[in-house]
């Protein structure tokens, strides 16, 4: 709080005839908004004990209320604390009403109690905090897409059951943690964000369907590489989940699983590109033969290899 603001606040308070209130302590939360008069807002994601403080310069009676319901009274005090743990999700107005012969005044804090973020073990390990906004995107994708169908629910439950040992292994190696964030988690964040955009998903679906229908002869040349890439990702995931499951008893397996994470997407891309190259190998060979007047593959090998 600036010196100028403090001076203005003190001047304002000196003109009042009766009570002066003091907001709750700054140490309660880094997100607390400090104000001398008026409402202050506190967003709480974790259920925790919160203490509110009222300090006045004369004897007063204090009534503490939550959403208009009195929960505590203090009589003939100059300073008083109120401690409350609100476990129910919702928005709560905590008010301190101070009265004496000189009049009445109110200080109100608005508390938004939200559900604690559910664990996303590997992503949390790579970002170093469960509160990163990128992890929120992954949670949104989980809630909006994955857990709305049986296959997604099975994937999520398996992930939660097997990933904690792998996340612990990630935390012990900053290099692997950083590379995993760049090569796996970040692409997944962008993919999840795109899939949460219904208009974009519809556009991609229409374009993909149009391409497949219009290129009937080339259909397998489009579908097969995609199947290879998707299958390789699924194999990696199955292997990592298996290592994570064993990792509770054998930490080395969890470490191996953690070291596999950065390679999931890059190797899947390599396998996809190799499939594309293999499918077009004959065409490439024919082009080389025609260009250089070669008759068969042995001529190509003698010219370019031997």
From first to last of the 306 residues of the chain, give the pLDDT tens digit: 445 444 444 443 444 333 333 333 332 222 333 322 333 333 333 345 678 888 888 899 999 998 888 999 999 998 888 887 766 777 888 899 999 888 888 888 888 776 655 668 899 999 888 888 899 899 888 988 888 889 989 999 999 999 999 999 999 889 999 999 999 999 999 988 888 887 766 776 676 666 666 666 666 666 778 788 888 999 999 999 999 999 999 999 999 999 999 999 999 989 888 887 877 776 666 666 666 665 555 555 555 544
Q: Which residues, at least 6 apart from 93, have a Cβ–Cβ distance to it below 8 Å?
A: 65, 66, 67, 68, 108, 109, 110, 111
Counted domains in the chain: 2
- Same domain (yes/no): 101, 129: no
Domain containing 266 equals 121-292
Q: Verify that 83 and 153 share a domain, yes or no.
A: no
Residues 222 and 108 in one domain: no
In a domain, residue 304? The reply is no
Q: Is there a single domain that holds both residue 42 and residue 134?
A: no
Q: Please state whether the predicted TM-score (pTM) of the whole model is above 0.75.
A: no
93 and 31 in a common domain? yes
What is the H or E stretch that residue 277 is in? Answer: helix 264-279
Q: Would you call 37 helix, strand, or coil by DSSP?
A: coil
Of 245, 78, 69, 94, nearest in space to 157 by CA:
245
Among 113, 134, 154, the domain-final residue is 113
Domain limit, last residue, from 81, 113, 145: 113
Residue 35: inside a domain, yes or no? yes
The tokens 């097997």 sit on which residue? 162
Q: Provide the angle, in degrees to the nearest 10, between the axes of the packed helices 198-214 and 219-247.
A: 130
Let me know if residue 303 belongs to a domain: no
Whether 15 is in a domain gets the answer yes
Residue 301 falls inside a structural domain: no
Residue 156, CB half-sphere, CA atoms under 13 Å: how many?
19
Clarify whether residues 136 and 78 are in a common domain. no
Both tokens of residue 137?
Answer: 């995107």
- Give yes or no: residues 103 and 86 share one domain: yes
- Tell whether 229 and 183 lie within a shared domain: yes
Q: What is the rounded CA–CA span in Å between residue 267 and residue 163? A: 21
């Amino acid at each position: 709080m600036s010196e100028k603001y403090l001076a203005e606040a003190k001047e304002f308070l000196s003109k009042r005839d009766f009570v002066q209130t003091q907001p709750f302590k700054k140490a309660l939360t880094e997100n607390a908004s400090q104000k001398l008069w008026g409402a202050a807002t506190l967003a709480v994601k974790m259920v925790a004990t919160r203490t509110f403080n009222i300090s006045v310069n004369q004897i007063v009676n204090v009534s503490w209320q939550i959403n208009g319901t009195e929960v505590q009274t203090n009589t003939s005090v100059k300073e008083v604390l109120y401690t409350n743990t609100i476990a129910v999700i919702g928005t709560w107005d905590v008010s301190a009403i101070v009265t004496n012969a000189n009049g009445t005044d109110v200080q109100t804090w608005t508390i938004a109690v939200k559900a604690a973020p559910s664990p996303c073990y590997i992503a949390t390990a790579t970002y170093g905090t469960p509160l990163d906004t990128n992890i929120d995107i992954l949670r949104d994708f989980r809630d909006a897409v994955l857990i709305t169908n049986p296959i997604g629910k099975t994937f999520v439950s398996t992930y939660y059951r097997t990933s904690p040992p792998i996340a612990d292994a990630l935390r012990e190696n900053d290099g692997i943690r950083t590379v995993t964030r760049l090569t796996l988690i970040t692409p997944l964040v962008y993919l999840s964000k795109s899939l949460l955009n219904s208009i974009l998903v519809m556009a991609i679906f229409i374009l993909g369907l149009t391409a497949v229908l219009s290129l009937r002869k080339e259909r397998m040349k489009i579908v097969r590489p995609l199947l290879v890439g998707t299958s390789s990702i699924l194999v990696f995931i199955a292997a990592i989940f298996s290592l994570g499951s064993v990792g509770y008893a054998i930490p080395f397996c969890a470490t191996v699983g953690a070291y596999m994470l950065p390679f999931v997407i890059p190797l899947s891309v390599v396998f996809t590109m190799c499939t594309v190259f293999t499918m077009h190998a004959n065409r490439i060979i024919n082009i080389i033969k025609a260009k250089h007047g070669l008759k068969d593959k042995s001529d190509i090998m003698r010219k370019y290899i031997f």
